[in-house]
Amino acid sequence: MRHVSCPICGGVQGVVSPVASYAQCAFCRTQFLVPPVPLSAHPVHPPSPHSPAVPSAQPEERRPTPAATFVPRGLMLEFTVFGLFAAIFVAGLIVVLLIAGKWKVGGSAATPRVEEVVVVRNDTAEAEPRWSNASRITLQLDGVKTRIDHVEYREVFARDDQRRVVTTKNSYLTIWVHVENQRAEPAEYRSWYGNRFPQARRSPEAKLVDSRGVVYPQKKFDDVREVKGHITQATLAMRETIRDTMVFEVPEGVSRSDVSGFRLELPGAAFGGDGVLRFEIGLGLVEGW
């Protein structure tokens, strides 16, 4: 048996055959050609005294065998380590995307929200109110765009007078709105939550009604300093945006299984507009209902 080295990884293994043949490396599983054993490597037996004399043959001129090209063990180790780190990086990126909600396992990626802007006209006495789908439509009134970001039914987070984070025991409907000023001049915004607008011709305050016509009153918390996400007022420069919240209480006796959706009216007077924003909110937009 003789020992040969793999031209790829340098691994040493034994080969029995003295003639040229192919062998498979036991380490990297690569097949390579094993050259034959040189004549000088074979054992030479002395001639018998009874055998006829054989003239000695002239030694055949042998050409040097070109050295095999192989990758050193150290370089192979670097390739392996690099591939391992690349696999870990890709796996980590996939986990981050899954956590962020960009990909869904076993399904297609979430469809991004396509903004459809509808300009609100002032109502007339005989006009039938128009309701806009809150899941895809942004309403623009007097140069200010408003949309419903999302709605959630769960406990409300707030801060007390010592600025400690507190939560309610009961669940409430919290509506997150997104307001953007498109005017060249600043827009003065007063929150719909907790305010009335007597100058508005219709809907002097934010009004939420379910599919059965039940009115949901705004929920005030007198024992807290601030409600999470709520801002009292703000001055919006051109292209500036804010997010605000409104909290509504579910009336007693309402069965959530009987409700198929909501309608929300917001007076444009909150930013100096003359008109009403009307959104129709499907249950698909309400988390936790």
DSSP 180-248: EE-SSS-EEEE-STT---TT-SS-SS-EEEETTS-EEPBPP-TT-SEETT--SEEEE-TT-EEEEEEEE
Q: Angle at the Cα of 271 (from 284 to 231), degrees rounded to 5?
A: 65
Question: Which pLDDT belongs to residue 113?
Answer: 54
- Among 228, 216, 244, smallest CA distance to 168 is for 228
212-268 tens-digit pLDDT = 999 999 999 988 999 999 999 999 999 999 999 999 999 999 999 999 999 999 999
The 3-state DSSP composition of the chain as helix, strand, coil percent (nearest 5) reads: 15, 35, 55
If one compares 18 and 53, the residue with the highest pLDDT of the two is 18
If one compares 191 and 23, the residue with the highest pLDDT of the two is 191
pTM of the model: 0.59
Mean of pLDDT over the chain: 80
Query: Residue 262 in 3-state DSSP?
Result: strand
pLDDT (mean) for 156-174: 93
Backbone φ and ψ for 227, nearest 5 degrees, come out as: -100, 140
Under 8 Å between Cβ of 39 and 20:
no
Question: Which pLDDT belongs to residue 34?
Answer: 75
Question: Which pLDDT belongs to residue 106?
Answer: 39
Number of other CB atoms surrounding residue 187 within 10 Å: 22
Under 8 Å between Cβ of 151 and 225:
no
Parallel, antiparallel, or unpaired for β 137-141 and 116-119? parallel
170-211 tens-digit pLDDT = 999 999 999 999 999 999 999 999 999 987 667 799 999 999
Confidence bin at 165 (pLDDT 50/70/90): very high
Question: Residue 33 pLDDT more than 70?
Answer: yes
Give the Cα separation of 287 and 154 in Å (integer): 8
Question: Which pLDDT belongs to residue 11?
Answer: 72
Under 8 Å between Cβ of 147 and 155:
no
pLDDT (mean) for 51-58: 52
Q: Which domains does the chain have, with CATH numbers?
A: 1-40 (no CATH), 116-287 (2.60.40.1240)
If one compares 8 and 236, the residue with the highest pLDDT of the two is 236
Please state, in angstroms and as integers, the Cα–Cα distance from residue 275 to each residue in 67, 180, 199, 259, following that order.
88, 17, 11, 28
First vs last Cα of the chain: how many Å apart?
78
Question: Which pLDDT belongs to residue 233?
Answer: 95
115-143 tens-digit pLDDT = 677 887 765 555 678 899 999 999 999 99
Question: Which pLDDT belongs to residue 46?
Answer: 55
Question: Which pLDDT belongs to residue 107?
Answer: 37
Question: Residue 273 pLDDT more than 60?
Answer: yes
pLDDT (mean) for 48-62: 53
Please state, in angstroms and as integers, the Cα–Cα distance from residue 227 to each residue in 105, 211, 286, following that order.
35, 27, 19
If one compares 70 and 80, the residue with the highest pLDDT of the two is 80
Question: Which pLDDT belongs to residue 267?
Answer: 93
If one compares 99 and 14, the residue with the highest pLDDT of the two is 14
Question: Which pLDDT belongs to residue 184?
Answer: 93
